[in-house]
Protein backbone atom coordinates (compact mmCIF):
# COMPACT_ATOMS: atom_id res chain seq x y z
CA UNK A 1 0.00 0.00 0.00
CA UNK A 2 1.31 3.47 -0.81
CA UNK A 3 0.88 6.50 1.41
CA UNK A 4 1.83 10.15 1.22
CA UNK A 5 4.06 11.19 4.08
CA UNK A 6 1.12 13.02 5.71
CA UNK A 7 -1.10 9.95 5.50
CA UNK A 8 1.66 7.76 6.85
CA UNK A 9 2.17 10.09 9.82
CA UNK A 10 -1.60 10.10 10.47
CA UNK A 11 -1.68 6.31 10.32
CA UNK A 12 1.27 6.05 12.71
CA UNK A 13 -0.44 8.44 15.14
CA UNK A 14 -3.62 6.35 14.98
CA UNK A 15 -1.63 3.19 15.61
CA UNK A 16 0.21 4.87 18.50
CA UNK A 17 -3.10 5.93 20.07
CA UNK A 18 -4.63 2.48 19.50
CA UNK A 19 -4.48 1.45 23.16
CA UNK A 20 -6.49 -1.75 22.75
CA UNK A 21 -4.61 -2.66 19.56
CA UNK A 22 -7.89 -3.14 17.65
CA UNK A 23 -6.81 -1.09 14.62
CA UNK A 24 -3.39 -2.71 14.65
CA UNK A 25 -4.98 -6.18 14.61
CA UNK A 26 -7.27 -5.25 11.70
CA UNK A 27 -4.47 -3.77 9.61
CA UNK A 28 -2.16 -6.68 10.31
CA UNK A 29 -4.63 -9.09 8.76
CA UNK A 30 -5.04 -7.14 5.51
CA UNK A 31 -2.82 -8.23 2.65
CA UNK A 32 -3.06 -6.05 -0.45
CA UNK A 33 -1.10 -6.68 -3.63
CA UNK A 34 -1.25 -4.28 -6.56
CA UNK A 35 -1.51 -6.41 -9.71
CA UNK A 36 -1.99 -3.80 -12.46
CA UNK A 37 -2.14 -0.05 -12.96
CA UNK A 38 -3.57 1.63 -16.03
CA UNK A 39 -3.39 5.40 -16.46
CA UNK A 40 -4.98 7.16 -19.41
CA UNK A 41 -4.47 10.92 -19.88
CA UNK A 42 -3.35 11.12 -16.25
CA UNK A 43 -0.95 14.03 -15.72
CA UNK A 44 1.78 13.63 -18.36
CA UNK A 45 0.86 10.05 -19.33
CA UNK A 46 -1.07 9.42 -22.53
CA UNK A 47 -1.49 5.71 -21.81
CA UNK A 48 0.36 3.49 -19.37
CA UNK A 49 -0.75 -0.07 -18.64
CA UNK A 50 1.60 -1.88 -16.27
CA UNK A 51 0.99 -5.46 -15.15
CA UNK A 52 2.78 -6.07 -11.85
CA UNK A 53 3.75 -9.70 -11.53
CA UNK A 54 6.35 -9.27 -8.81
CA UNK A 55 5.70 -8.14 -5.25
CA UNK A 56 8.63 -5.72 -5.14
CA UNK A 57 8.81 -3.17 -7.92
CA UNK A 58 11.62 -0.70 -8.53
CA UNK A 59 10.49 2.43 -10.37
CA UNK A 60 13.12 4.28 -12.36
CA UNK A 61 13.43 6.19 -15.59
CA UNK A 62 15.75 8.37 -17.65
CA UNK A 63 14.87 11.76 -19.10
CA UNK A 64 16.76 11.41 -22.37
CA UNK A 65 16.54 15.13 -23.15
CA UNK A 66 18.52 16.05 -20.04
CA UNK A 67 20.17 12.70 -19.16
CA UNK A 68 18.66 12.72 -15.68
CA UNK A 69 16.13 10.73 -13.68
CA UNK A 70 14.03 13.85 -13.03
CA UNK A 71 10.74 14.53 -14.83
CA UNK A 72 10.16 11.01 -16.13
CA UNK A 73 6.89 10.23 -14.31
CA UNK A 74 7.96 8.18 -11.28
CA UNK A 75 6.01 10.35 -8.84
CA UNK A 76 3.11 10.67 -11.28
CA UNK A 77 2.83 6.88 -11.38
CA UNK A 78 2.62 6.81 -7.58
CA UNK A 79 0.10 9.69 -7.69
CA UNK A 80 -2.00 7.54 -10.02
CA UNK A 81 -1.99 4.72 -7.50
CA UNK A 82 -2.97 7.13 -4.72
CA UNK A 83 -5.76 8.60 -6.84
CA UNK A 84 -7.00 5.13 -7.72
CA UNK A 85 -7.05 4.00 -4.11
CA UNK A 86 -8.32 7.13 -2.39
CA UNK A 87 -9.75 9.41 -5.11
CA UNK A 88 -7.35 12.15 -4.03
CA UNK A 89 -4.10 13.63 -5.19
CA UNK A 90 -1.59 16.11 -3.83
CA UNK A 91 -2.31 18.39 -6.82
CA UNK A 92 -5.49 20.22 -7.75
CA UNK A 93 -7.92 17.97 -9.67
CA UNK A 94 -7.75 20.12 -12.82
CA UNK A 95 -4.05 19.26 -13.13
CA UNK A 96 -4.70 15.52 -13.18
CA UNK A 97 -6.16 15.61 -16.70
CA UNK A 98 -3.42 15.61 -19.34
CA UNK A 99 -3.06 18.87 -21.27
CA UNK A 100 -5.04 18.86 -24.50
CA UNK A 101 -7.46 16.16 -23.33
CA UNK A 102 -10.84 16.34 -21.64
CA UNK A 103 -10.89 13.20 -19.50
CA UNK A 104 -8.52 10.97 -17.58
CA UNK A 105 -8.92 7.55 -16.03
CA UNK A 106 -7.10 5.42 -13.49
CA UNK A 107 -7.67 1.69 -13.15
CA UNK A 108 -6.15 -0.57 -10.51
CA UNK A 109 -6.37 -4.33 -10.16
CA UNK A 110 -5.72 -5.49 -6.62
CA UNK A 111 -5.62 -8.73 -4.72
CA UNK A 112 -6.91 -8.09 -1.20
CA UNK A 113 -6.96 -11.08 1.11
CA UNK A 114 -7.24 -13.39 -1.92
CA UNK A 115 -10.17 -11.42 -3.40
CA UNK A 116 -9.68 -9.70 -6.74
CA UNK A 117 -10.78 -6.06 -6.81
CA UNK A 118 -10.94 -3.72 -9.80
CA UNK A 119 -11.03 0.03 -9.14
CA UNK A 120 -11.81 2.48 -11.93
CA UNK A 121 -11.91 6.26 -11.53
CA UNK A 122 -12.59 8.84 -14.24
CA UNK A 123 -12.43 12.63 -14.16
CA UNK A 124 -13.35 15.30 -16.70
Determine the Cα–Cα distance for residues 48 and 118; give it in Å rounded to an integer: 16
- For the entire predicted model, the pTM comes to 0.69
Predicted local confidence at residue 67, as pLDDT: 74
End-to-end CA separation in angstroms for the chain:
26
Are 90 and 120 in contact by the 8 Å Cβ rule? The answer is no
Domain boundaries, the chain: 1-30, 31-123
pLDDT single digits (tens) 5-51? 455 445 555 555 666 676 666 666 777 788 999 999 999 899 999 89
Query: Strands of 45-51's sheet, edge to edge?
Result: 45-51, 32-42, 104-112, 115-123
Pick the CATH number of 31-123 from 3.40.50.300, 3.20.20.140, 3.40.50.720, 2.40.280.10: 3.40.50.300
Amino acid sequence: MFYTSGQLISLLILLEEDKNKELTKKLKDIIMILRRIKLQNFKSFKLVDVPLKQRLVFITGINQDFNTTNYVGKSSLLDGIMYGLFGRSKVQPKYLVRLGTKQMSVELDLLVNNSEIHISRTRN
